[in-house]
Amino acid sequence: MAYKLVQRLYELAGRPGEAAQFLDLVALGIVADVAEQVNDARYLLQLGLEQLRRTERIGLKALMHNARLNPATVDAEAIGFQLGPRMNALGRLDDATVAVELLTTQDAIRAGQLAAQMERLNNERRRLTSQITQMAFDILDRQPHLLDFNALVLAHPRWHAGIVGIVASRLVEEFGKPTVLLLNPPGEPARGSARSTPNVDIGAAIAGCAPLLLSFGGHPGAAGVSLEADKIDAFRRELSRQVEQHRRDAGPDGLAIDAELRLADLSLDLAEQIQRLAPFGNGNPAPVFMSRRLAVVDDIRLGRDGTHRRLVLQDEAENKQPLIWFRGADEELPRGPIDIAYTMGINEFRGERNLQLTYKAIRPAEREILQVAPAPAPAPMGPGFPVHDLRGQDVDPASLPGPGEAFWYAEGVQLRQVDYHSRLEAREAAAGRPLVLWSAPPSSEVLAWLLETLEPSEVYLVARDTGDAVLEAVLKHVAGMCKHALNRGNRVALDRAAARIGVTEGVVRYSLLWLEESGLIHLAEWEAGDVVRIAPGRAGQRNDEERQLLRQKLAELVSEVRAYRRFFQRARVSDLFP
């Protein structure tokens, strides 16, 4: 936007074309700010890289010299991993206005001093990033239950405000979930940064926690936040719920592979052809390739502190190829042959140009299975009843057949607009009436049972997410039911508890087992009809290993409920009612 304004001002001054002198700065801004490289931005980046390679800015030349970059071959990757971090280190650890002086000075000595200052700060940034990353992992080692939430929220009084965003991004890569890192000095509000995965709008999720916050702001990929320190635990729980509400369909899980190659297919010429698609970045990611059934014949550590790795890969024909694995020193390699995904680039060092593979993902080798496509299946017959698909629409409950005319399925703890109507009521309901699926069922088995029991004449598909499928919230609800039961008959019916929360009976069963193992209740006797008689817990009888196993199983079951609800809300009608 700034460049377009400058360009127009030069045109109005009768000096069209002179704005091109700023294109090198445009390239820096587009890449360092992770702007989407599409349309005009991509075109300006291409022009800007050409300008950067022949820049006359003394400060940029000094910065490239310190980064050991050849100006003639600098590309978007060099900006993203070399120039950008050095300039950003100023704003993170010192005064960002120094960068303006670096870009505008005509004094070579001063430029060298400023570039050296950036180099020192960048090294300090690296040290702090490594330190805070390790501290975050230490917290998770001591409190592994924090990984059970949909978002990772960690806090420490001595973290640096300018570094937590970098570390949050690394934790997102490591654990695949949105992450918020907070610094909470004693007596001060906690403040920090959030980073997200592609399928979660973290800005909107944090906005949903507004009643707990002092300030917040951001966009789908990143956000900033501040809150009172005593509200961090409540914020963690609420953010976990909000993340579930603000998930976006980012396609199937896993890494998209653009092509499968043999090691014999790899060459510098192929890498040069791929580079014609550059610059790569946000909006134009580098192609990802895969090679199967390779052996690791050499494995050495690289970098000042040995955090990077260089693998030499070999196929069954004994073709060899090195691969760089950044920050992979501590990762455990699978035993035996591997399949590996990578990007392909060119490494230039001391005048030599070589093919360089960069790690993306690894797994134990899988054998290729030749699948013969079956004969086309006959066209599906359909559900045999009309389906009114109202998902994603603003539906007024009054516009639907009322409970007197239809069977309503509306259960869970977040109904808000409508009254509770449990799946259990279907046992006594008349068959052949309309079915209103106000809530998204927790499993395909619950849906199939409703359809078989009710034999509906038509279905109104609203599919709101009214259940609470967050692990901590589920445990809290089940514990509350147990407390109530201890005062009234000492019995918990699994089907009624599951319907009240909007989950499966398996979730309730494992919640009860975990509560017993935690010493909070005692499961005295299982009775007919999946009813359990409970008693107060037995203090001192905790098995932490068993608790952890139960919690892991429960987390899997809760995750399955969330996954099915997402499927139910997005799938084709023909896939829901075959």
The helix (run of H) or strand (run of E) holding residue 113 is helix 108-142
Cβ atoms 342, 322 nearer than 8 A: no
Tell me, rounded to whole angstroms, the distance of Cα 520 from its chain centroid.
34
Report residue 188's pLDDT band, with 50, 70 and 90 as the boundaries: very high
Q: Is residue 467 within 8 Å of residue 414, measured between CB atoms? A: yes
Residue 155 CA to residue 151 CA, distance in Å, equals: 13
In this prediction, residue 376 carries a pLDDT of: 53
In this prediction, residue 177 carries a pLDDT of 92
Residue 478 is predicted with a pLDDT of 92
The reported pLDDT for the residue numbered 111 is 92
* Residue 293 pLDDT class (50, 70, 90 cuts): very high
Q: Which residues, in sequence order, are CB contacts of 498 under 8 Å at separation 6+? A: 442, 504, 505, 507, 508
**Confidence class for position 374, pLDDT limits 50, 70, 90:** low
Range 221-226, long-range pairs (CB < 8 A, 24+ positions)? 221/195, 221/196, 222/165, 222/193, 222/194, 222/195, 222/196, 223/193, 223/194, 223/196, 224/191, 224/192, 224/193, 224/194, 225/180, 225/182, 225/191, 225/192, 225/193, 225/194, 226/189, 226/190, 226/191, 226/192
Model confidence pLDDT, tens digit, residues 93-144: 777 888 889 899 999 999 999 999 988 988 888 889 889 999 999 998 888 8
Q: Which residues contact 87 (CB under 8 A, 6 or more apart)?
A: 28, 32, 63, 99, 102, 118
Query: What's the whole-number average pLDDT of the chain?
Result: 87
Q: What is the mean pLDDT of residues 245-268?
A: 80
pLDDT score, position 264: 92
Q: Model confidence at 254, in pLDDT bands (50, 70, 90)? A: low
* Span of 210-219, 264-273, 317-326, 416-425 with lowest mean pLDDT: 416-425
DSSP-assigned states of every residue in 251-287? -SSSPPPSEE--GGG--HHHHHHHHTTPPPBTTBPPP
Alpha-carbon distance 429 to 422, whole Å? 11
Residues 544-562: tens digit of each pLDDT: 778 888 888 888 888 888 8
DSSP state of 514: H
Give the orientation angle of helix 84-93 with respect to helix 97-104, to 10 degrees. 140
> What pLDDT, on a 0 to 100 scale, did the predictor assign at position 379?
44
pLDDT band of 542, cuts 50, 70, 90: low
In this prediction, residues 159-166 reach a mean pLDDT of: 91
Helices 544-570 & 505-517, crossing angle to 10 degrees? Answer: 160
pLDDT, tens digit, 9 for 90 and up, residues 468-499: 778 888 899 999 999 999 988 899 999 999 99
Which of the residue ranges 262-271, 275-284, 294-303 would you say has the lowest mean pLDDT?
A: 275-284
Q: Are 193 and 215 in contact (CB under 8 A)?
A: no
CA-based nearest residue to 26, from 279, 210, 215, 394: 279
pTM of the model: 0.54
Percent of all residues in the chain with a pLDDT value above 70, rounded to a whole number: 94
List beta partners, residue 191.
Answer: 183, 226
Q: Quickly tell me which residue has 């429960």 as its tokens.
A: 554
CATH numbers and ranges of domains, the chain: 2-125 (3.90.1640.30), 143-245 (3.10.310.30), 260-364 (2.40.50.460), 392-578 (no CATH)
Residue 257, pLDDT > 60, answer yes
**Contacts (Cβ under 8 Å, ≥6 apart) of 276:** none
